[in-house]
Amino acid sequence: MKLEKTNLGKVICIKFGGWATEKRVERYQTDLIKSITAMGLESKGDFLVAQYNSPWAIPPFRKNEILIQLK
């Protein structure tokens, strides 16, 4: 495992609970893209998926975010 510090600058994110499955991540990425467009913003780079809980946390208590940099 490697710990790396990165300066992301300005980002926009959407948070959600439960498991961060591929299908759910895709759904929230789509929602985030719609929000970015509606606000007249532009994104750059790839989406980042942040999962903040241990694997043993049960779904109602899990916290996740989808983040993307803004231009």
**Mean pLDDT across the chain:** 94
Distance CA(16)–CA(35), nearest Å, equals 15
Roughly how many angstroms between the first and final C-alpha of the chain, as a whole number? 30
The conformation of residue 53, written as its DSSP 8-state character, comes to S
- 48 within some domain: yes
pLDDT for residue 4: 86
Q: Which domain holds residue 16?
A: 11-70
Amino acid letter, residue 37? T
State the pTM of this model: 0.85
pLDDT for residue 25: 97
- 5 within some domain: no
- 29 within some domain: yes
Report the number of distinct structural domains present in the chain. 1
